[in-house]
Amino acid sequence: MMRTTVTASPRSTPDAVTDSLRSAILSGAIAGGAPLKQNDVAAQFGVSIVPVREAFQRLVAEGLAEHRPNRGVLVTALTDADLTEIAELRTLLEPHALRLSAPHLSPSDLAKAEAVLHRAAGTDDLLERARLHWEFHHALYARAERPRLLDQLGLLHTSLSRCLLPAWSRVGISSGWVGSHMQIVSAIRQQDVDTACKEIVRQIADAAERMRHDLIQIPKGRTP
């Protein structure tokens, strides 16, 4: 097992361990159903079990791991049913967030969203692209001033990344990816929130259908 050294600065040790494990789960390096063992992870990162325990708690809170009685902490397996539910929740929540936020978005807010979108399209780092994809949507929803709603949407986007990253790795982003997202911004600029919401719903449905074909689990049992 390769030993990974985690430094406390600029991130705390729990942050660093969480980030590393999250990245491994999202990229598929740690498969759904794989056990996460405190002692093994602590030895791999060269830390005590205290920050590892905290990292596990964070991953459970994010829905990327789950605690099973008598089995410990396992990486959550993502199924077709999970993908359907994520799409349904996004379809319900994201238009609601946008309707609350859109009247309060400034030109600079929209310009920021566009800049983030182009950064997402321009990077070859798939994890960074996934982060920026959510940052784009967050910029459009932030003026809703509903922190719990945005937290839930952030968790949904994190879960969704487990399907997005394999699809992006295999075929890249679709040719109309930037344009379709820009249509949302354009509709908001024109104060046509209905059209912006319809485009969001259409994107969610299209993305779910594409990702359903890429929902292939890495063999269970692979550990960090």
Q: Are residues 121 and 194 in the same domain?
A: yes
One-letter identity of residue 199: E
The answer to whether residue 153 sits within a structural domain is: yes
What CATH number should be reported for the domain holding residue 59? 1.10.10.10
Specify the pTM.
0.79
Query: Mean pLDDT over all residues of the chain?
Result: 86
Confidence check: pLDDT of 219 > 50? no
Other residues' Cβ atoms within 10 Å of the Cβ of residue 107 = 8
Identify the pLDDT of residue 31.
84
Q: Give yes or no: residues 89 and 115 share one domain.
A: yes
Confidence label for 11 from pLDDT (cuts 50, 70 and 90):
low
Q: Dihedral angle at the C-alpha atoms of 82, 84, 85, 86, nearest 10 degrees?
A: 80
pLDDT value, residue 222: 42
User: Which residues constitute the domain of residue 151?
Assistant: 80-212
Domain-located, residue 220: no
Q: Could you tell me if 96 and 193 lie in one domain?
A: yes
pLDDT tens digit sequence for 39-74? 999 999 999 999 999 999 999 988 889 998 888 999
Label residue 126 by pLDDT band (50, 70, 90).
Answer: confident
Q: Which residues pair with 75 in a beta bridge?
A: 65
Q: Are 86 and 176 in the same domain?
A: yes
Decide which of 24, 50, 75 is a domain's last residue.
75
The predicted structure's pLDDT at residue 2: 38
Q: What pLDDT was estimated at residue 111?
A: 97
Q: Are residues 69 and 98 in the same domain?
A: no
pLDDT computed for residue 3 by the predictor = 43
Is the model's pLDDT at 194 over the cut of 60?
yes
Domain boundary pick from 55, 75, 95? 75
State the pLDDT at residue 218: 41
pLDDT at 8 over 50: no
Instruction: Examine the fold and report which residue of 54, 75, 96 is the final residue of a domain before the chain moves on.
Output: 75
Q: Residue 186 has what pLDDT?
A: 97
Cβ(193)–Cβ(98) under 8 Å? yes
pLDDT at 116 over 90: yes
Distance (Å, whole) CA 136 – CA 149: 16
Q: Which of 19-23, 71-75, 79-83, 212-216 has the lowest mean pLDDT?
A: 212-216
> Among 22-26, 46-50, 189-193, which stretch is predicted with the lowest mean pLDDT?
22-26
My answer on whether 26 and 107 are in the same domain is: no
For residue 44, being part of any structural domain is answered with: yes
Mean pLDDT score, 119-143: 93
| Helix intervals (H) in 46-146 | 49-61, 80-101, 107-122, 126-141
Residue whose pair of structure tokens reads 């990974």 in the numeric block: 4
Tell me the one-letter amino acid at 175. Answer: S
Q: State which amino acid sits at residue 134.
A: W
- Residue 207 is predicted with a pLDDT of 83
CATH number, domain with residue 102: 1.20.120.530
